[in-house]
Structure 1
Amino acid sequence: MCLIRATPPHGITDHLGEGPLPVFARNSKRIACTIAVAICGWTSVACADVQRVVSLYPCLDTILVHVADREQIAALSYYASDPRSSTIADIAKTLPMTYGTAEEIVSLRPDLVISSQYAPQKTHEALQRLGAKIALFDVPLTLAESIAQVRELARAVNRPERGEAVVANIEAALVAAAAPPNTPPISALVFQSNGFFAGQGVLIDELLGRTGFVNVAARYQLGQFGVVTLERMIADPPQALLSGVIEAGGLTWGDRLVSHPALARVAQGMARAELPERLLLCGGPVITQTVAVLADARRRIASAAP
């Protein structure tokens, strides 16, 4: 029985049973960075012979498929195959999946189970009683934390060189997506389904800054995430509203807000650009796609400006 915690110094409350929350939808509680060494005697999240890995968390799924051998992946979480929220849906559909019950996981005979430290504790405890080795990861709030998590998970499956390759791709994408020197930043809000807007001190906030935008969430008294009313957005619009695709027939309150006809009144003063929801849920390898989309949006918005 072995439990390992690999946690950056921030936390998010999430529930596997309810689906992944937005990257920015996390509390502000700071959690000390620890690696807890259990009775197996490991001194890091690594094992000499990890042959079968089960992932229970969508963002770890994404890293795992980029750093592990296909034969090492015993199962991904069932969220990984949903193209609305996953950037690896096509790959995930060709791999085993799990709904996260302890009995199901144990039947897969994993050498290592990777999960969010905020996933249901009872599942983790049941897995430990059954002898499973579990590595629990936090959700990174910064680029540095996200890159560190990629490296940690790559070490966990004994493929550190693949972790370095992912990091190199992220760094190259950031360089390519950067705005030209002395380019005035474009004020922006990032909207995600269910009515939440990305606030400050979260990963997407940093990515906006790295791609020529400035997140104006503070102007609307948002913390790390929050709600902006339609009236407030009309009265004080940002230069750009970045949001996902609205699905017909399934409009939430938040979807209705950003598709409201009243926003057309400020169309000349507020550009709209698409930022798919699947690019907002995770960091790691997803960052390369996110910053490319943001850079493209910045160029189109700038070229359309009077």
Structure 2
Amino acid sequence: MAGVTRRTAAGALIAGLATGPALAATAGPRRVVSLNPCLDAILVQVADREQIAAVSHYTHEPSSTSSGALGLTFPFTHETAEEVVALRPDLVLTARHSSPATRAALARMGVRTELFGLPNTVEESLVQVMQVARAVNRPERGQALVARIRAALAEAAPPPGAPPLTAVTFQSGGFASARGTLMDEMMRRAGFENAATRYGLTRTGNIPLEKLIADPPDVLLAGQLEPGAPTWADRVLAHPALAHVAPRMHRAVFPQNLTFCGGPVLIESARMLARARREALAARAARS
């Protein structure tokens, strides 16, 4: 019976898609489902609210959401094909990390999907903003968001000729962003030199606390400790050993959810990085 119900729903969905191309051409898709939190963050900024049928469940997790309080106001799925089809979408935004089984099922049922990659540069992220905006037929909002991101990056840039400060991101478990990533470029744009390689990281991974203490960077872009610190991975952020190098290393708050995505997240990332640099320079001046 459940199989019949799903087939009936799928058939109705496909029939509905076949009868509405004229409306879609002028107004854009009417029921969009996103299966990726980074796409969620863009979608909620560029689409009409009534266009969004659901976002990903990651956007409803306060510790990992990249959409802020706005994302919590939308329905969500756990990325199963059954949930998605039940919402009768006319567009599903997916990423390379989205469930392959769900993507394959949607393809078999003829549901329109768009697949997005993981941007590794600011420019790739801005291109993705415009791709999402065009997919929902709101290119002017994409252009406005791109302009806001570019303005935030320009405001966060250090003065010409200013020497960079060494820094690493240090999140739960000592997780750090390596060179060649979007986060690495954001750090460089804000006047930091990513020191991850001097701790042996050639790609994003964990920095051993012992190596960090032995050779601290100028700035530690540290995540915020979760309430209750339930695991060692969280408690490492408050390890007493970090206090011993405080005179040589400025610790700045840099929430972990700013390291996950691009798009509109880059605005807050730029602001927090610029703030960290100002505070580190002020602390250095006060010690000298």
Same fold (TM > 0.5): yes
Q: Aligned partners of 1:237 and 1:213: how far apart in 2? A: 14
In structure 2, the residue matched to 1:106 is 85
Q: Secondary structure at the match of 1:74?
A: strand
Give 1:1-306 correspondences, 5 Å limit.
Answer: 48=25, 49-305=28-284, 306=288
In structure 2, the residue matched to 1:13 is none
Cα deviation per residue 1:60-98 (whole Å; 9 max; x = unaligned)?
Answer: 000001111111101111211222222424212322211
CA shift, 1:110, in A, is 0.6
**Which gives a bigger RCO, structure 1 or 2 (Cα 8 Å, sep 6+)?**
1
Q: Aligned partners of 1:107 and 1:226: how far apart in 2? A: 38
RMSD over aligned CA atoms reads 1.6
TM-score by length of 2: 0.86
Cα deviation per residue 1:1-49 (whole Å; 9 max; x = unaligned)?
Answer: xxxxxxxxxxxxxxxxxxxxxxxxxxxxxxxxxxxxxxx9xxxxxx624
Gap runs ≥5 in structure 2: 1-16, 18-23
Q: 1:179 to 1:282 in 2, by over 3 A?
A: same
Which moved further from structure 2: 198-207 or 223-232? Answer: 223-232
CA shift, 1:164, in A, is 0.6
Gap runs ≥5 in structure 1: 1-39, 41-46
Q: Give structure 1 regions of 4+ aligned residues with deviation exceeding 4 angstroms.
A: none
TM-score by length of 1: 0.82
Q: Secondary structure at the match of 1:79?
A: helix
Q: Residue type of the partner of 1:212?
A: G
Say which one has the larger Rg: 2
1:195, 1:253 within 8 Å by CA — same for their partners in 2? no
CA shift, 1:251, in A, is 4.2
Q: Residue type of the partner of 2:138?
A: R
Cα deviation per residue 1:196-246 (whole Å; 9 max; x = unaligned)?
Answer: 111100011000000111101111121121222222112111011111111
The alignment of Structure 1 onto Structure 2 pairs a total of residues equal to 261
Which moved further from structure 2: 236-245 or 190-199? Answer: 190-199
CA shift, 1:105, in A, is 0.7
Q: Secondary structure at the match of 1:173?
A: helix
